[in-house]
């Protein structure tokens, strides 16, 4: 796999609370240099990233919704989606309401995602389910709820919990339940080409990697 082909499968990010403008600028430059699929920041910096990436329409600015906890109201999530789109984001990664999922409030989860789906229009919508925190049954239910609500991707993790990385087995469960009905994105602890290859073989088509890890990986492969 050439670097360009690999990069188009990767969302690079600076979404930790301690990231600086210098790091966000470094992420933008890396996105342009390697042609990553998208570049994600926290909402306060989304318009800045979108403006810098505007001359490169094949590199999407990405925005996060109810990140990283997922506990915002449906109205707040919908409003965030609209604001991020106005800022120039073309991809939206929202966090599922995991309290509702674990409490078997499935209709609430569907309605929560569906409201963001409507607000997102034709832009790409991914739903983060924090698979490392879920049982197999919960992962399977979460995948089906995302499908029912019309999301484009179901995503393993926000990556905010480094002690609980996403695993191949979680991707395999998600892919088995999805059966091609929704795309899968893996994030959180993705560090090596071997991990990417194994998860891609299992059914994952997009990967989220933080700035420092992405640079280390691509500099090793260059």
* Residue linked to tokens 């996105």: 31
* Token pair belonging to 169: 């087995």
185 flagged as catalytic: yes
Of 11, 93, 123, 152, the active-site residue reads: 93
Of 77, 126, 155, 183, the active-site residue reads: 155
Q: Which letter, b or e, does each residue of 126-146 get, where b requires 16 or more Cβ atoms within 10 Å of its Cβ?
A: bbbbbbbebeeebbbbbbbbb
What phi, psi does 155 have (nearest 5°)?
Answer: -115, 140
CA-CA distances (angstroms) from residue 178 to 33, 78, 134, 184? 33, 25, 16, 9
Residues 6+ apart with CB under 8 A from 207: 9, 10, 11, 185, 186, 187, 190, 196, 199
Taking alpha carbons only, the member of 180, 126, 181 closest to residue 156 is 126
> Which neighbouring-strand residues pair with 183?
153
Report how far Cα 191 is from the mean position of its chain's Cα atoms.
16
189 contacts 207 by C-beta, under 8 angstroms: no
123 flagged as catalytic: no
155 flagged as catalytic: yes
Residues labelled catalytic: 93, 155, 185
């Amino acid at each position: 796999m050439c670097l360009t082909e690999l990069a188009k499968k990767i969302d690079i990010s600076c979404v930790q609370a301690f990231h600086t403008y210098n790091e966000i600028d470094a992420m933008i430059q890396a996105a342009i240099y390697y042609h990553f699929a998208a570049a994600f920041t926290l909402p306060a910096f989304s318009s800045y990233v979108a403006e810098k990436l505007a001359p490169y329409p094949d590199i999407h600015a990405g925005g996060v919704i109810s990140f990283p906890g997922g506990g915002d109201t449906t109205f707040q999530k919908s409003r965030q989606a609209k604001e991020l789109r106005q800022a120039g984001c073309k991809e939206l990664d929202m966090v599922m309401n995991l309290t509702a999922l674990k409490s078997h409030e499935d209709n609430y989860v569907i309605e929560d995602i569906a409201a963001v789906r409507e607000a997102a229009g034709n832009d790409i919508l991914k739903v983060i389910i924090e698979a490392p925190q879920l049982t197999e049954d919960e992962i399977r239910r979460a995948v089906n709820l995302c499908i029912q609500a019309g999301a484009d991707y179901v995503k393993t993790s926000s990556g905010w919990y480094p002690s609980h990385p996403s695993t191949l087995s979680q991707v395999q469960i998600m892919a088995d339940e999805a059966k091609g009905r929704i795309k899968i994105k893996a994030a959180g602890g993705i560090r090596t080409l071997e991990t990417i290859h194994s998860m891609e073989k299992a059914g994952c088509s997009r990967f989220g990697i933080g700035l420092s890890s992405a640079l280390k990986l691509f500099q090793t492969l260059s």
